[in-house]
Copies of this chain bind each other. A is one copy, B any other.
Amino acid sequence: MFTKLNRSRVFRDPLYGYISCEYKIIADLIDTKELQRLRRIRQLAGVGMVFQTAEHTRFTHSLGAYHMANLVIHNVDGMEKISEYEHVVFLISALLHDVGHGPYSHAFETTIDKSHEDITVSMILSPKTEIHNVLNIKEGLAEDVASVISHDGKFPLIEQLVSSQLDVDRMDYLSRDAYMTGATYGIIDYFRILRSMRIIDNKLVCKASGVHSIESYLMSRYHMYFQVYYHPVARSYEAVLESIYERIKDLSQKNYKFECNLTCFLNVINNNDDLESYLELDDAYVQGFIKQLEHSKDKTLSKLCSAILNRHLFKCIDLANEPEEAELEAIKNRFKDSDSKYFFKTVDAKGEAYKHSKKSDINDIKVLLPNGKIKSLDQYSPIIKSLVSSSYTEIHRIYYFED
């Protein structure tokens, strides 16, 4: 149905040994400029300020997620009953799931008010992209992949495998980020997890005997969130970046004449469907304009850029440590006027070790008991229940600038 390569194309990978492509369409997608662009966008953005060896990009992670999908196909009981067409849709969705990411994505999404998934879908459907042209060899394929990414329910199992509490995306990035940062608590036993999964009635379940490996995975995830992804300094870096993006947006709406060429960035901010401009954006683009705008005549902008370049980042107060009320009030008062809004941020986040989802069956991890019954993971495992219910996994912080 899908053409296979004469000789499979092989990528060396320190986590898995080798990543192998057998389908021509996968190899062609890897070579598109949209996917190659991910080579210039780091996976961990601001986290690299703290964990300096985390220099890997979204490209290597995308290959990794593709490989994990391949492992699922070959190791999970029940996957053999799915059609080859769905296998390939799964592989492609895993490969492309992050292709819509912008540089320093977290701050970016806030500014353009559009998720990277939406942009991924645009790239897949737009007749102008190379990705689309590759997918076009088979009618309906682009639409089906887009449907998986946008979770619209046509392929519920694949949606679940690509993006849920326990998916090929997370299984690769937890392992990879741990390998790159040296954080041992991120190591997950993905082979054991795959062996405890099973497809029943087109849904993914986990056998009760393998729940421990899932618990271990969720704890890894929780620890990676708090130790790595939500590291106070990493988040401070992203908070400053967000302020820079906001200030640029605000100035552009006042027709400020920027001291450097920001055409593509402004195009995207003002019209987030301008894919051509979007594809020009990468880490170097952002680093480039920050360097130049350090000397902007706009004092706010120059101050923020300088904060990044000279590592004079925002200070962080963790509200969990119960700081003095008076002190907090004093800080908040300092940033009351509209010009200073860029220098003060409250950040609330949830560790997301696991979330029980009422509306969506797909998102829950289901446990298959020996007697054939099925339970939600958080009903089955008290540890996970405590992770879900506890405020402990929340973050409430204040970031502010201090001269």
Q: Which residues of A contact B (CB under 8 A)?
A: 11-15, 17-18, 31, 39-40, 51-53, 55-57, 59-60, 63, 179-185, 187-189, 191, 208, 212-213, 215-216, 219, 223, 226-227, 282-285, 287-288, 311, 321-322, 369-371, 381-383, 385-387, 390-392
On whether A381 and B392 interact (CB within 8 A), knowing A14-B181, A181-B14, A215-B223, the answer reads: yes
| Complex CA distance for A383 and B225, rounded to whole angstroms | 15
Quick one: copies of this chain in the complex? 4
- Distance in Å: Cβ of A207 to nearest Cβ of chain B: 12
Do residues A57 and B56 form an inter-chain contact, with CB atoms below 8 A? Answer: no
A369 contacts which chain B residues (CB < 8 A)?
321
Do residues B51 and A12 form an inter-chain contact, with CB atoms below 8 A? Answer: yes
A18 contacts which chain B residues (CB < 8 A)?
191
Q: A14-B53, A185-B216, A321-B369 are in contact. List 8 more A-B contacts (CB 8 A).
A: A13-B182, A14-B180, A55-B60, A184-B189, A321-B370, A322-B371, A383-B386, A383-B387
Do residues A212 and B216 form an inter-chain contact, with CB atoms below 8 A? Answer: no
Residue of B59, B223, B284, B383 near A212 (CB, 8 A) is B223
Q: Which residue of B lies closest to A33 (CB)?
A: B309
Do residues B31 and A181 form an inter-chain contact, with CB atoms below 8 A? Answer: no
Q: List 3 A-B pairs, minimum CB-CB distance, nearest first.
A: A284-B284, A386-B386, A14-B182
| Complex CA distance for A51 and B13, rounded to whole angstroms | 8
Do residues B212 and A12 form an inter-chain contact, with CB atoms below 8 A? Answer: no
- Distance in Å: Cβ of A248 to nearest Cβ of chain B: 19
- Distance in Å: Cβ of A317 to nearest Cβ of chain B: 11
| Complex CA distance for A56 and B322, rounded to whole angstroms | 40
A385 contacts which chain B residues (CB < 8 A)?
386
Residue of B39, B215, B227, B284 near A288 (CB, 8 A) is B284
| Complex CA distance for A52 and B387, rounded to whole angstroms | 34
Residue of B12, B216, B226 near A223 (CB, 8 A) is B216
A284 contacts which chain B residues (CB < 8 A)?
40, 282-285, 287-288
A sample of 6 cross-chain residue pairs with beta-carbon separation below 8 angstroms, ordered by A number, consists of A12-B51, A40-B287, A187-B187, A212-B223, A212-B226, A382-B391
A215 contacts which chain B residues (CB < 8 A)?
219, 223
A287 contacts which chain B residues (CB < 8 A)?
40, 284
| Complex CA distance for A391 and B59, rounded to whole angstroms | 39
| Complex CA distance for A390 and B57, rounded to whole angstroms | 40
| Complex CA distance for A252 and B39, rounded to whole angstroms | 30
